[in-house]
Chains A and B, each alone.
Chain A
Amino acid sequence: MAGASVFFQCPTLSNPGDPGSVIYNGTFADNVVVDGMIRADQGEILNPVSPRQVCVHLSSGDGFVNMADKQLDPDGNGMGHEQYMFGFKNITGIPDAEAMLAGMLAAEFPAPTLKFKEGDEVYLSLTNVGMMMRPDLFDPHTVHWHGFPNASAIFDGEPMSSVSINMGATLTYYYKVIEPGTFMYHCHVEATEHMQMGMLGNLYVTPAQDGTQKSFGGRTYSKFAYNDGDGSTGYHVDFPVQILGFDSNFHDQHIAVQPLPFAEMYDDYPMLNGRGYPDTVNPAPLPNSFDGRLSQPIPALITANQGERILLRLSSLSTVAFHSLTVQGIPMQVIGEGSRMRRSFYTTNTVTLGGGQSMEVLLDTQGVAPGTYFLYTTNLDHLVNRQEEYGGMMTEIVIQ
């Protein structure tokens, strides 16, 4: 290839009978992207190289989000403090020629959730669209699939031991997904800066056992956290909940093109899935005050019908601190951590996660009265949106 280029790789076979006839910019059916991915098992790829092929295209760049301090908004417009950020955007299905424009200033917080199935063969293309608001920066980016078992260096996204993608070009990662579990992903370039700036997201893998019927504890399940063999990790509804935070001083200094205050880093906007309470329970995508883009699309509201088992896929990508989470009124059964089913389960009322830790927790709502329950951090100083109290790292569990 001559010159920098955008190149969304979704390889297909030019001759369906010849596994060697691979073309890398393959063809796929138009307008069939229903889950943000192009999947062979949904018939969206013509002549796929693998029956479980999945193609995803992310852009990396910058953008803006607003914090949840609508009452004590330091910006004075009632939308909450505006924060400059780096982030990802799902641009799957957009033609290469339009990909740069689609990704510019389109960063989302958190990053688009990536949900795969055990057995998938994932081609994840990352296009670096550059940082529009910081034209003085030439930062490359990566995707680090945090916790990927038996990783290779080239697809690990850790830039010191491999490569990272420059502005205006695309790097495609390949993952053969052989283990279920709750992982996470983030950019690993200048990790302290790019992660504090918001290049963080949920990533999880559902097990091959899904779709089979297994009875456990008097109930029958068809969805499971792991290939447990006995239905003990079965659930009815699952929710990824990621611990995140912004240090407003760091973000404000960044957009002001000032030296970055690493040593002083302290998250005064603690969040779940990129929002502080009460934004966490707003089901709508939230616009920013910079250009009105819906840059916070993911709520953290948890809903279930009485009697259902809820699987919480907890992870932390805090860059600063450990956090404990509690659920008031519903015991928390810990069934997995580090993307592996635990050899023994235990029940508790609090779990603690530092940056880079994940945990699966089952909440059994059988016998739990309908109503609103709270999931929040017991690091009580983090129940704030900077100056505004009754906020921060908290969300609601609504049992109907």
Chain B
Amino acid sequence: MDLYRYRISGALLLAASLLFFAATGAVAAIDGVTGTSFSFTAREGVIANPDGSVIPIWGYANGDQAVQYPGPTLIVNQGATVTVTLTNQLAEPVSILFPGQKVTATGGASGLLTREALPGGASQVTYTFTASHPGTFTYYSGSHSDLQVEMGLVGALIVRPAGYDPQNKATWTAYGDARSAYDTETLFLMTEMDPELHYRAGAGLPADTTGFFPTIWFYNGRAAPDTMAPAGAGWLPNQPYNCLPQAHPGERVLMRIIGGGRDSHPHHTHGNNFELIARDGRLLESAPGASALLVADAPVFGTVPDLAVSNFTQAVIPGATYDTIFTWTGQGLGWDPYGAIDSACTDADHDGKDDVHGRMCHDASCTDTNGDGFDDASKEYCADHGKPFPVRLPGQQDLTFGQFYSGGPFLGSAASLPPGQGGFNPAAGYFFMWHSHNEKELTNNDIFPGGMLTMFLVLPFGTDMP
């Protein structure tokens, strides 16, 4: 095939990728509210979806800010005494349950599962708990739950382990030691909706949840492709969170997964297996500190707890939470995913860029001083370094191009695309779809594609992650 490959200068590449991320709002950490004392208000609102539907919701708002779906992600520190004060502006009693926490509720009125805030905003409830255990948790309404959780009264709770410092990457772990260390983290709060229930409840009509039949599915309150739109996008005022995982080769990606609705969903990662390291905020370990290598014989990727389970699809059941570690290097492909060796390139400092010109390039070296099989800096798999691409690709007229395709098969170097094709991958990364594998759930009210779907991005080494 007549692939005309070209290299983009490092500066242009960075500018292009910044443009891309300015348009998508990618971040390496999870958005949410931090602190110890929070004030929630349960209110009515609406969400907007890619199929054009506008669906009434009941949601938790952070103080007097916009009501949102899902509720504000609470990010607190291990050991903190957390208080959440709930005010109710809905027409029926509402509350919050925090599974896995020992909660004291005061104020409001007595309810079946916990104390409730009564309608009208007059009676507030205060929930207090000590965040004694790090991990991924959820919260949701304990009042009229079959309808209220469906309507949107659900959110995530993340407890940072003792010693966590957002400014110091060396302290980034989910559970306090190296077995749960990560470089980037993403939340996957998985929910579904039956819009008919929302239209009825939103209009003040009785809504019978026994006929529940969902037709739209969400990661973090958004259906695809909005999952990949900027966090805090102005056109989604009630859906502030996106879902855009990304990493460089060899980095550890922490997925915090929550079954937030009433259906189960198989969450599938293209690109590689992950390791399930924790369930409902508890590490999968046989004894405190027991560990195993994340990938057998490759200590470069670090460790996981010894009862971790490798898989490519995680069954996510209602109310449960899962923490997984994912890595990608392209190890063992049998060809060099970085393309042919560029004899005009000298990258002695192994930063993925030519030492003189600064352009992204792939030089002749793969430096593995610690003997783990990977380049010390880029985590390129050295055994495949310089191996040729094994097949001929068809001509462009025989192919249909995806919008996340860089034009060529190589990581970090784009190639020509027909006019109007591609365009969402200026950094020439590898995109992998992460999605529900009950494929019906990749639709938005009868429209494909959509639903529980997002794209994970492997950024080329040397490309900055905003």
Flag the segment in B71-79, B111-119, B394-402 that touches A: B394-402
* Alpha-carbon distance A4/B396, docked complex (angstroms): 9
* Alpha-carbon distance A338/B309, docked complex (angstroms): 9
Q: Is the CB of A161 within 8 A of B439?
A: no
| B402 touches which of A7, A159, A192 (Cβ 8 Å) | A159
How close is B303's CB to chain A, nearest CB, in angstroms? 13
Flag the segment in B55-63, B85-93, B330-338 that touches A: B330-338
Q: Does A249 contact B (CB under 8 A)?
A: no
Q: Which of A311-344 contact B (CB under 8 A)?
A: 318-322, 337-340, 342-344
Q: Does B404 contact A (CB under 8 A)?
A: yes
* Alpha-carbon distance A178/B312, docked complex (angstroms): 16
The interface centre, meaning the residue of B306, B307, B431 with most chain A CB atoms within 10 A of its CB, is B431
Q: Is the CB of B431 within 8 A of A161?
A: yes
Q: Which of A271-325 contact B (CB under 8 A)?
A: 318-322
A4 in contact with B397 given A147-B312, A356-B268 (CB within 8 Å)? yes
* Alpha-carbon distance A178/B296, docked complex (angstroms): 13
A195 CB contacts on chain B under 8 angstroms: 439
Contact digits for B235-268, partner A, Cβ 8 Å, 1 yes 0 no: 0000000000000000000000000000011101
Contact digits for B435-466, partner A, Cβ 8 Å, 1 yes 0 no: 01111101101111100000100000000000
* Alpha-carbon distance A308/B393, docked complex (angstroms): 46
How close is B401's CB to chain A, nearest CB, in angstroms? 6
Flag the segment in B36-44, B138-146, B197-205, B269-277 that touches A: B269-277
Q: Does A191 contact B (CB under 8 A)?
A: yes
* Alpha-carbon distance A2/B214, docked complex (angstroms): 48
Q: Does B329 contact A (CB under 8 A)?
A: yes
Q: Is the CB of A355 within 8 A of B404?
A: no
- How many residues of chain B have a CB within 8 Å of chain A? 64
Q: Does A65 contact B (CB under 8 A)?
A: no
A162 in contact with B443 given A123-B391, A152-B409 (CB within 8 Å)? no
Q: How many contacting A-B pairs (Cβ < 8 A)?
A: 212
* Alpha-carbon distance A185/B116, docked complex (angstroms): 50
Q: Is the CB of A160 within 8 A of B402?
A: yes
Contact digits for A374-386, partner B, Cβ 8 Å, 1 yes 0 no: 0000000000000
Chain A, interface SS category: loop
B431 CB contacts on chain A under 8 angstroms: 153, 160-161
A355 in contact with B438 given A161-B404, A261-B446, A340-B311 (CB within 8 Å)? yes
Q: Is the CB of A176 within 8 A of B333?
A: yes
How close is A198's CB to chain B, nearest CB, in angstroms? 13
Flag the segment in A77-85, A107-115, A167-175, A233-241 that touches B: A167-175
Q: Does B219 contact A (CB under 8 A)?
A: no
18 contacts between A and B (CB under 8 A): A149-B272, A149-B332, A152-B333, A156-B270, A166-B399, A176-B335, A192-B448, A262-B440, A262-B447, A263-B445, A322-B315, A339-B273, A340-B310, A354-B264, A354-B265, A354-B315, A355-B439, A357-B315
**Lowest 10 A-B CB distances belong to which pairs?**
A356-B437, A176-B334, A338-B311, A354-B266, A169-B398, A154-B409, A161-B431, A340-B310, A355-B437, A356-B313
Q: A166-B398, A343-B306 are in contact. List 11 more A-B contacts (CB 8 A).
A: A1-B395, A9-B391, A150-B271, A155-B409, A158-B402, A159-B402, A170-B394, A174-B335, A322-B264, A343-B309, A357-B313
